[in-house]
Amino acid sequence: MNLIADVRRTLPRAAWWAACLCVSVVTLYPLYTMLSQSLKTPAEATENPPTLYPHGLSPENYTALGNTGQVGVWQHVGNSLVVAAGATLLTVVLATLAGYGFAKLRFRGSGVLFFVILATFMIPFQAIITPLFSILHGMGLSNTLLGLALVYTTFQLPFGIFLMRNSFAALPPSIEEAALTDGCGLVGAMARVLLPVAIPGVISTALFTFFASWNEFFAALILVTDEAKFTLPVTLTVLASNQLGTLNWGLTQAGVAVTAIPCIVLYLLLQRYYVTGLVAGAVK
Amino acid sequence: MTETAIPNVTPSRPGTAVPARPRGPRLTTGRRRQLLGMAMVAPALAVVTVFFLVPLVMTFWMSLHEWPLLGEHQFVGLANYIKALDDSEWLNAIRFTLEYTALITPILFAAGLALAFLVHRESRAARIFQSVFFLPVVIGFAAAAYLWLYLAQPGLGPLSDLAVRSGLGSRDTNWFATATSGLLIVTAMVVWKVAGMQMLLLLSGLQSIPGELTEAARIDGAGRWKVFRHVTLPLLRPTLALVLVFSVAGSLLAFDQFYIMTNGGPSNGTITAVYQIYRTSFINFELGYGAALSAMLMVVLAAVSALQMLLLRNSDHS
């Protein structure tokens, strides 16, 4: 009797663990392959059939990354950092200001403007890339990291403004009033009292912009044609095509790892903000 | 309900109903607040205008012209649109995009839903598995595409090795040799990368359903399937709609994965709509024609988004 009860209780649990572990293997195995392939020696990386794990750990692929293409990968890491950090900073500042304006300092027409900005959601930038290219060209911003950062900012702004407006709107007016009676100006009230409370929204906005800008491929491919200014996702095409003869999959996977690992680390550190921002943005 | 119950209220702007405030310092504060509000919104608005609204209008303007990269552009009216309707490359791209969307949407949906139900529990282990399943979402499409390109390499890649060991193919079967098998590999990659996102959204939908509701149904004697069918599913409908629209819109815009993994080949068999726009505008430099194709794509996507808004609005009132 006891045994049967035990089995009936533990069997679904065991099945659940088995299912979850199986999916975990499917999810994590490609990531494991990325790392193991990148740490193999170039000779081992081209073995057919592939080895399951690196038999001799070698940093060779990572050092070789510095000498491939025109400028080496580390310059591209720098480009990606500049673009992603620039777009993130700009988006956070503009979205915080606009979010506060839309939430707390309503003016005539602010509702319509907010709707116009939200409507940007409906049209993806893939659809307006052709004139965007011409406009950046006309402004002398084609082929520059600044131009790319501005484009990323534009397409992250609606979500950021939406998130920040909601963060500020959720705060009771009494907080602001208290700050005002304490002698803060309107700007002071925002910076010293309301902003600290809205910090989770700021972090979510920053994270989303950073991930999107770091990983974006299509606009980066079109708007930047000078190899020295490529961001990492486009650099991967150089790694894959620049080698003579056969592809070096160890080197390519090292490039993939350099592109992917910062995102994974950032996500694991800040996933709380990422997930709440995502859910808030999607559901509302 | 409460709004419609009030009879014959003439619609008025909210400000007019409030009795006029005494003029004086309060009004100037209000005025200052408004000006400050405008000033705070202005920078964001400027960026959105220059890099979004202007290009948006320009897309339609350019689409009415023959617009080479260099040299004069020339007004041609609707000629670009008429050309598009008869352009077999464009029509093939549309057909392929729709096929891809029709293939991947149900797979992604089923995978996302299964994962969401799997990790919908209150335990430390479930939370850890949630994070693990979500992990591929944060990696970019380009990185994921190159990763899977390697996995599926004939002979060299672990997936191909697995296929050989399980008797599904020989060591030099090239999965990118036909459009169909190439499409399947790309689909596998996208499911691996995106299912976690769908899981997370569906999970948040599931978590918003009060546990008492499903418990009450169980107590009333409904089986697991009946509870799912008659309680969970109807309450989950807005989330389901959202997730579907996300994956449809995402698939209609597919580019990175095909550009990297199949290069549009073999024999242009995996060119998507965005890919064709890219080729038209930035390989052939027919910017006017590319803009016309973009405008057509934009209309379709705006329709999908409008549908999304409609579905979500309905859910708000139900």
Q: pLDDT tens for residues A123-171?
A: 888 889 989 998 998 899 989 999 999 999 999 999 899 989 988 888 7
Tens digit of pLDDT for each residue in B262-304?
988 788 889 999 999 999 999 999 999 999 999 999 988 888 8
pLDDT in tens, B121-166: 888 999 999 999 999 999 999 999 999 999 988 878 888 888 888 8
| Chain A positions in Cβ-Cβ contact with residue B135 (cut-off 8 Å) | 27-28, 31, 264, 267
Write out pLDDT tens, residues A60-71.
888 888 887 778
Dihedral sign, Cα of residue A44, residue B157, residue B262, residue A72: negative
Mean pLDDT to the nearest integer, A23-51: 88
Residues of B in contact with A237 (CB under 8 A): 142, 260
For chain A, percent of residues with pLDDT exceeding 90: 43
Q: What is the distance between the alpha carbons of residues A68 and B224, in angstroms, rounded to a whole number? A: 58
pLDDT of residue B9: 39
- Least CB-CB distance to A28: which of B132, B138, B200? B132
Whether pLDDT at B21 is above 80 = no
Contacting residues of B for A165, CB less than 8 Å apart: none
pLDDT for A283 equals 55
| One-character DSSP codes across chain A | -HHHHHHHHHHHHHHHHHHHHHHHHHHHHHHHHHHHHHTS-HHHHT-SSPPSS-SS---HHHHHHTTSTTT-HHHHHHHHHHHHHHHHHHHHHHHHHHHHHHHHS--TTHHHHHHHHHHGGGS-GGGGHHHHHHHHHHTT-TT-HHHHHHHHHHHHHHHHHHHHHHHHHTS-HHHHHHHHHTT--HHHIIIIIIHHHTHHHHHHHHHHHHHHHHH--HHHHHH---GGG--HHHHHHHHHHSSSSS--HHHHHHHHHHHHHHHHHHHHHHHHHHHHHHHHHHH-
Range among A74-78, A269-273, B9-13 rated most confident: A74-78
Radius of gyration for the alpha carbons in chain A, expressed in angstroms and rounded: 24
Look at residue B6 and tell me whether its pLDDT is greater than 60. no
Mean of per-residue pLDDT scores for chain A:
86
pLDDT over 90, % of chain B: 49
As for the ipTM of the complex, it is 0.89
pLDDT band of A281, cuts 50, 70, 90: low
Q: Is the Cβ pair B305, A94 closer than 8 Å?
A: no
A65 lies within 8 A of chain B by CB: no
What number does CATH give the domain A65-283?
1.10.3720.10
Alpha carbons A210 and A89: distance in angstroms, whole number: 9
Chain A residues touching residue B260 (CB < 8 angstroms): 236-237
Check CB contact of A19 with chain B, cutoff 8 Å.
yes
- A170-184, B13-27, B30-44, B133-147: which has the minimum mean pLDDT? B13-27
pLDDT (0 to 100) of residue B318: 40
> Which of B13, B33, B41 to probe by mutation at the A interface, max A CB count within 10 Å?
B41
Is it the case that residue A186 has pLDDT exceeding 80?
Answer: no
Q: Which domains does chain B have, with CATH numbers?
A: 88-317 (1.10.3720.10)
pLDDT at B13 over 50: no
Q: Do B118 and A23 touch (CB under 8 A)?
A: yes
Is A89 an 8 Å CB contact of chain B? no
The answer to whether the CB atoms of B297 and A126 lie below 8 A apart is yes
At B154-197, the pLDDT tens digits run 878 888 888 888 877 777 778 888 888 899 999 999 999 999 99
pLDDT, one tens digit per residue, over B64-77 is 999 888 878 889 98
Instruction: Give residue B116's pLDDT.
Output: 93
Nearest chain B Cα to A44, which residue?
Answer: B156
Whether A214 contacts chain B with CB within 8 A: yes
**Interchain CB contacts (distance < 8 Å): A and B:** 273
* pLDDT (0 to 100) of residue B175: 83
Position B62 confidence tier, pLDDT thresholds 50, 70, 90: very high
- What pLDDT score does A245 carry? 52
B13: nearest CA in chain A? A108
- Segment A200-249, tens digit of pLDDT: 889 989 998 999 999 999 999 999 999 899 999 999 988 877 555 567 78
